[in-house]
Amino acid sequence: MTTPLNARRWINWGGNQQAIAADVLTPGTVDEVTAHVKDASGNGRRVKAVGSGHSFTSIAVATDQRMVLHRLNELVSVDGDLVTVQAGMQLAKLNAVLAEHGLAMPNLGDIDQQTVAGAISTGTHGTGGGHTTLASCVEGVTIVTGSGETLTVTKGDEIFPAVQLGLGALGILVEVTLRCVPAFTLLADERPMALADVLAGLDELIQGNDHVEFYWYPYTDRAQLKRNNCVPEHDRPLSPFRGWLDDEFLSNTLFQGVCRLGKAVPATVPAIQSIAARALTARTYTERSDRVFCTPRRVRFTEMEYEIPRAALPEVLDALPRIIDGLPFKVQFPVEVRFTAPDDVWLSHGYGRDSAYVAIHQYSGVTHEPYFRAMEAVCQPLGGRPHWGKLHYRSADDLRPAYPRFDDFVAVRDRLDPARVFANEYLDRVLGA
């Protein structure tokens, strides 16, 4: 039976990617996944597994068969600090399940709507000088390869550093085993500061805090500094009203209105940014770790994020005001800066080096490409690596020198998906056809 058009139509969260698939597959078991892939492989078709649509690139665009894994979202097992879940589970549910077992992820990004498979496959990361991407927490995966074979890969296996962060190019993840940590409480300290003061003490901030990041407000010299540190007790709860005021009303409802105004009357943006940056107030509170790491994001946007060697951060931050001031349009979103430690995952942005991440955003429906291309032109010569789930304009030819194990990854792709059952235009561009 033909799938109705409205079910075949897909659009991502940011609204900048869309596609109409020929068919939509919704398997509820691993056997059903393997059967679908075997059928596709035998008939020369393509299958693209899709998560919650929080990537801004076209990595999840499917024009043949789209596979949605929302039914594969259950806990499989808990063995000490090793937790195995089905790969279609959203991070929000994962965090709740872990809390029930006295566990937590050691680090998270700033939203929890991605699926586990999507988060690890695109290099989702948080911040902290002692932490890396979520993929580094993976201890094992079960993956359905391009032939329909079900393959379990664990730490120590030759191809493990490839499947940890596979871009959806090696197969369809159906189960993931994560190494977790005992549940912990964070003391969150968020305060406005002069950007110069943040930068002057940045090395000490990174070394002296478990997790640190900051936001710079364009057209101003102001920033918001966020520090999160593990503490033994949850003894400084945020009042429900303050939480609603900051995280819902100011960060979402009011900010949505401000973005609409800036879109309609761009000349108001610099003044609005200045007022917003100086209206920020400090807050300090304790809360369960995932509730500090992850906050609601309801204002839609497009995003580019570049990983750069940490030592290159001053050069990028020096260039950004010149880029923004020279644009023929205004930038309404702050610039986010985060930090991670080196890891050994082959296609991790942080492979082999201490990293700084610089994320730039633009309100949905507002021109972004000249801004993003100018940012990329600064970061690429510095050895920058674009986030796989955020907009960029790179291709296999210029990505290969940025990743020492790039060709090793492609060799694993040739082995697990020689017929390119899982390919799409994005993967052909960044990995080669």
Say how far apart CA 329 and CA 233 lie, in whole Å: 47
> Are 134 and 90 contained in the same domain?
yes
Mean per-residue pLDDT for 3-27? 90
Tell me the three-class secondary structure of 297-358, residue by residue.
Answer: CCCCEEEEEEEEEHHHHHHHHHHHHHHHHCCCCCCCCCEEEEEECCECCCCCCCECCCEEEE
**Above 70 in pLDDT, residue 1?**
no
- Report percent pLDDT > 90 for the chain: 89
Mark which of 162, 182, 202 sits at the end of a domain.
Answer: 182
Co-location of 225 and 174 in the same domain: no
Mean pLDDT estimate for the chain:
95
- Given a contact cutoff of 8 angstroms between Cβ atoms, the answer to whether 357 and 306 are in contact is yes
Distance CA 293, CA 216 (A): 19
Contacts of 421 (CB under 8 A, 6+ apart): 37, 40, 41, 45, 46, 47, 146
343-358 average pLDDT score: 97
Structurally, the chain folds into a number of domains equal to 2
DSSP secondary structure letter of residue 364: T
Does residue 279 belong to any structural domain of this protein? yes
Q: Of 216, 210, 205, 212, which is closest to residue 227 (Cα–Cα)?
A: 212
Query: Same structural domain for residues 313 and 199?
Result: yes
Domain coverage including residue 175: 75-182
Assess whether 229 and 374 both reside in one domain.
yes
The string of pLDDT tens digits covering residues 376-418 is 999 999 999 999 999 999 999 999 999 999 999 999 999 999 9
CATH at 165: 3.30.465.10
Examine the fold and report which residue of 131, 150, 182 is the final residue of a domain before the chain moves on: 182
Q: pLDDT digits over 211-234, tens only?
A: 999 999 999 999 999 999 999 999
Which tokens go with 387?
């986030």
Same domain, 358 and 305: yes
Whether residues 269 and 353 share a domain: the answer is: yes
Q: Model-level pTM?
A: 0.95
Residues 200 and 217 reside in one and the same domain: yes
Tens of pLDDT along 175-207?
A: 999 999 999 999 999 999 999 999 999 999 999
Which residues have C-beta within 8 Å of that of residue 126, sequence separation ≥ 6?
A: 107, 108, 109, 110, 134, 211, 293, 338, 340
- Three-state SS for 93-136 is HHHHHHHHCCEECCCCCCCCCCEHHHHHHHCCECCCCCCCEHHH
Q: Is 433 helix (H, G, I), strand (E, B) or coil?
A: coil
Residue 167 lies in a domain: yes
Same domain, 286 and 195: yes
Q: Tokens for 137, please give them.
A: 């927490």
Residues 297 and 174 in one domain: no
Please check whether residues 167 and 240 belong to one and the same domain.
Answer: no
Same domain, 242 and 337: yes
Residue 66 lies in a domain: no
Query: Is the domain of 102 the same as that of 190?
Result: no
- Using CA atoms, how far apart are residues 405 and 391, in angstroms rounded to an integer? 22
